[in-house]
Amino acid sequence: MGLFRKSYKTSVNHQKLTHLNDPADNDVSDESLFIHDVSVYSDRRYLLDRVSLRLKAGEFLTMLGPNGAGKSSLIKAIAGELSLKTGYVCINGKRKWSGKQKALSLGVLPQSSALCFSFSVEEVVFLGRTPCNESYEENKRIVCKALDSVGLLQCRQRLYTTLSGGEKKRVHVARVLAQIWNNQTSGARYLLLDEPVAALDPNFQLKILQLVKDQVRQGMGALVILHDLNLAARYSDRTVFLKQGHVVSEGTPEEVLTSENIEAVFDVRTTVMKHPFSGCPLIINC
C-alpha cells in the first residue's frame, strides 16, 4: 500500500522566508547549522515534513509549538537519533561527521535525562567531557566552571539522585555546556536545548536563558525549545512556529508572535503589546 501525505493547511500568517541555499553552493567554511528538506516518518505518520531551517553562529533561535508538533523530533533528527526519510543536516558546511566530531560541535539537552546511578553531581558533568582530548586538570576546571555557571558548584559532591527535579535539570545544562566548552573544533559550536527551563523556578529560568544568551554573544548558536511565549520574546533573535511537523512561521519575535499566529497555532486568544521596559512583544491571554 502506498504512503500518502495530506496537504497541510493553516491560517497562520506566513512570514517571507529567506531563500535557503544548499551549503554545497557556498564556502564549505559556512558557520551555520543547516537543516534542509528534512522529513521523519514513524508509526505511519510524518513527525517532520519537509522542514528547512538555518541556525547561524551567534544566533538565539527559539522553537515554539503545541505538544506533538515535532519540536523534539527535530532536535533528535539533527543529533542523528532519528533516521531521515528526506533531506539532510549540514554542520558548518559538512554533512558527514564522526561521532566524536559531532559531539565536539553539538551539545544536546534532551527533554528528559534519566540517570539512576549513584554518581556525584561532578561525575555527571564530567560525562560531558568524554569526547574531549584534555588533561584531567583542564577537564576538572571546565566542569567546575560549568557547575558554577548554573549555581551548583557547592553541590558538586552531592549524589545526583538526591537532587530535586529542577536541580537535576541544571546539572544536565552544565553537562551539555561542559561538552562543548572552548573546544578546538573546525567551526562554530551549537547548543540544542529541549525545554531547558522546564521544572525551574522563575529565578533560574531567567538565569539559564541568560547564560545561553551569553554563550550566543560569544559566537555559539543556540536552538531552544520553549513553551513560554514571553520568554521566547525576551531572549530570541529569531522564532519559529512548528505545527504538525511543518514550519508555519519564522522570523523575528515581532514578526512571529502576533495574536493571529498564536491563535492559529495554539487555538488561544491573546493580546500582544510592546513590553514597557524591554520593547519586546508581551503576550497576555484573553
- The helix/strand/coil state of 66 is coil
**Per-residue pLDDT, 98:** 83
- The helix/strand/coil state of 182 is coil
Cβ pair 176, 191 in contact under 8 A: yes
Q: How confident is the model at residue 229 (pLDDT cuts 50, 70, 90)?
A: very high
Q: How confident is the model at residue 28 (pLDDT cuts 50, 70, 90)?
A: very low
Domain 23-285 matching CATH 3.40.50.2300: the answer reads no
Q: How confident is the model at residue 58 (pLDDT cuts 50, 70, 90)?
A: very high
Q: Given a cut of 70, is residue 14 above it in pLDDT?
A: no
Q: Given a cut of 50, is residue 2 above it in pLDDT?
A: no
- Angle between helices 136-149 and 165-179 in degrees, nearest 10: 140
Mean pLDDT of all residues in 46-67: 98
**Per-residue pLDDT, 185:** 62
Domain parsing of the chain, residue ranges? 23-285
Cα–Cα distances (Å) from 162 to 74, 155, 156, 196, in that order, read: 32, 11, 12, 20
Q: Are strands 60-64 and 221-225 parallel, antiparallel or unpaired?
A: parallel
Cα–Cα distances (Å) from 33 to 148, 168, 192, 223, in that order, read: 28, 28, 11, 10
- In 146-279, which ranges are E strands? 190-194, 221-225, 238-243, 246-251, 270-274
The pTM of this model reads: 0.89
Amino acid at 62: T
pLDDT per position as a tens digit, 81-123: 999 999 999 999 999 888 888 999 999 999 988 888 889 999 9
**Per-residue pLDDT, 34:** 97
pLDDT per position as a tens digit, 152-164: 999 999 999 999 9
At 87, list the grid cell.
Answer: 533531506
**Per-residue pLDDT, 19:** 42
Q: How far apart are CA 176 and CA 159, in angstroms?
A: 19
Q: Given a cut of 70, is residue 22 above it in pLDDT?
A: no
